[in-house]
Structure 1
């Protein structure tokens, strides 16, 4: 019998919280419902969850602060729930380490599909990490050690989210090649790219900032308008 995955839903709205719990339990998840950020953080101290569903608008500690505190100690996949039009919150959430977001009101089937994709990605990462050997990539000031999942830029260890690590590894593994944003979305977020979907753009922006802050001048991630991205370095080579 397949193990039931444990999900933490942090949602203060009683009606939506009950809906989430019922929906997820129907899909054979074990659900813990927290009605405040404080309760959610306490639950995380005692239980290893497969994923967290986090509402941005919470009483007391808001969702972004909860996200920051989770990311300071854990890499558990986090899906944010945001009200429509709160684009700034979504961007800040990605910058702070969220893996995905879903605007409210949401389609229940889409929530389940995205949640399962997040959990699958973690499982795939663990398998890749367990089987990786001598797959290091070095381009310019950048070095990626795939076995330990560490990234160094200009000899500085970068703190990357899972999505950022995967994006950078894919781009660095195919230097000078234009990679379509739709393909990057499927490879890293495990879902189809939708109209006005800027998730990949925000993750790329975060990568550029982190590389720049570390003092790395090479490689460079270029935007290919209307298509996607490519990573280049004049003196880059793949180890």
Structure 2
């Protein structure tokens, strides 16, 4: 059964669409509050979001933008607003489809099935690529579970250590300056000094069992910063 979140303040329309879609093995959750809708996306796994644009308290375009900050769930905009600018902004903010009201529920069903099918294919390909990439690597980043493993064993890292090591893994092979780490790691204060980065790198190396004079993973680049090799 596919889980669909409908963020729609027209409850009569929501009820009609819910009754129709539930005939096709879909579980529909309706939220007429945009803020609650955003919260639901962050707390539960949905296969797709149907999003109205004209909502109380927060415009649907802003809802779309907020969802995209943390989630790649497919989004279909369902709106009576036909302005071209709204459509362009919707796609710029991360919507996958735009369906102007009024429409036949059969068309909505077809678009839902198409997007879910496409998204599942992308996830399967990403999982295959990730598995192949990580097959022969000692350090593996799992962002979903927020862990980094060394030869299959989770590392016990502080938030700052996790942020720095995950950034180095993502930029594997590239020379990363201390300043770049400061500005791209949320757990690192922008007031931090290069010395404080060196201290955290030292702690990470220790947890990796590294010899600083002959490191296997984190290499110092004179005059620049660090790079990760594996």
Alpha-carbon distance in structure 1 between the residues aligned to 2:101 and 2:43: 29
What is the match of residue 74 of structure 2? 77
- Residue by residue, what CA displacement relative to the aligned partner does 1:54-89 show, whole Å, maximum 9, x if unpaired? 001111111011111101111110000122532211
Of residues 37, 41, 47, the one that matches 2:38 is 41
**Higher RCO by CA contacts (8 Å cutoff, separation 6 or greater):** 1
1:122 aligns with 2:119: yes
The TM-score normalised by the length of structure 2 is: 0.55
Alpha-carbon distance in structure 1 between the residues aligned to 2:29 and 2:82: 28
Q: Spell out the pairing of 1:177-216 with structure 2 (5 A cutoff).
A: none
Q: Spell out the pairing of 1:101-116 with structure 2 (5 A cutoff).
A: 101-116=98-113
What is the match of residue 58 of structure 1? 55
Alpha-carbon distance in structure 1 between the residues aligned to 2:127 and 2:23: 32
Alpha-carbon distance in structure 2 between the residues aligned to 1:84 and 1:67: 15
Structure 1 segments of 4 or more deviating over 6 A? none
Q: How much is the aligned-residue C-alpha RMSD, in angstroms?
A: 2.3
2:70 alignment partner, SS class? coil
1:72 alignment partner, SS class? helix
Alpha-carbon distance in structure 1 between the residues aligned to 2:127 and 2:40: 29
Alpha-carbon distance in structure 2 between the residues aligned to 1:14 and 1:82: 14
Structure 1 residues 129 and 45, CA gap change in structure 2 (3 angstroms): closer
What is the match of residue 212 of structure 1? none
Per-residue deviation, 1:37? 0.5
- Unmatched 5+ residue regions in structure 2? 134-170, 172-230
Q: Residues 9 and 20 of structure 1 are in contact (CA less than 8 Å); yes or no, is this contact kept in structure 2?
A: no
2:82 alignment partner, SS class? coil
Q: Residues 53 and 81 of structure 2 are in contact (CA less than 8 Å); yes or no, is this contact kept in structure 1?
A: no
The TM-score normalised by the length of structure 1 is: 0.53
Per-residue deviation, 1:130? 2.9
Structure having the higher Rg: 2
2:115 alignment partner, SS class? helix
What is the match of residue 192 of structure 1? none
Alpha-carbon distance in structure 1 between the residues aligned to 2:18 and 2:47: 15
Aligned length: 135
Alpha-carbon distance in structure 2 between the residues aligned to 1:61 and 1:98: 16
- Unmatched 5+ residue regions in structure 1? 135-149, 151-239
Alpha-carbon distance in structure 1 between the residues aligned to 2:92 and 2:105: 26
- Residue by residue, what CA displacement relative to the aligned partner does 1:122-168 show, whole Å, maximum 9, x if unpaired? 1111222233468xxxxxxxxxxxxxxx9xxxxxxxxxxxxxxxxxx
